[in-house]
Amino acid sequence: MITIYKYALGTAYEQTVLVPTGARWLGVSEQFGGLAAWAVVDTSSPPTTHRFRVIGTGNDAEEVRDWKFLGSVQQYGGQLVWHVFVRESPG
């Protein structure tokens, strides 16, 4: 079945989430004080690991040069701004 799933994220620099293979990421936003990402997934696809990087403004982003940018999220009235990147891990 094709559906849209939400995946809760933290603000840690590196995170991994098991997601059906071939997920199409829609975006990221603040929800209930935390970060969340949404993806269109085929629930019949086998799971694969997707890696996330959450980088604050002004921090080194060299490592995510070839990653998919999901979006930027502001917290605490804009005091913190996070930039979220994702990629499907091979194998």
> pLDDT tens digits for 78-89?
999 999 999 988
Q: Per-domain residue ranges for the chain?
A: 2-88
> Per-residue pLDDT averaged across 11-21, rounded?
95
The per-residue DSSP string of the chain comes to: -EEEEEEEE-S-SEEEEEEETT-EEEEEEEETTEEEEEEEEETTSPEEEEEEEEEETTS--GGGTTSEEEEEEEETTTTEEEEEEEEEPP-
Indicate whether 90 pLDDT > 70: no
Q: What is the pLDDT of residue 88?
A: 86
pLDDT, tens digit, 9 for 90 and up, residues 32-45: 999 999 999 999 99
Average pLDDT across the chain, whole number: 94
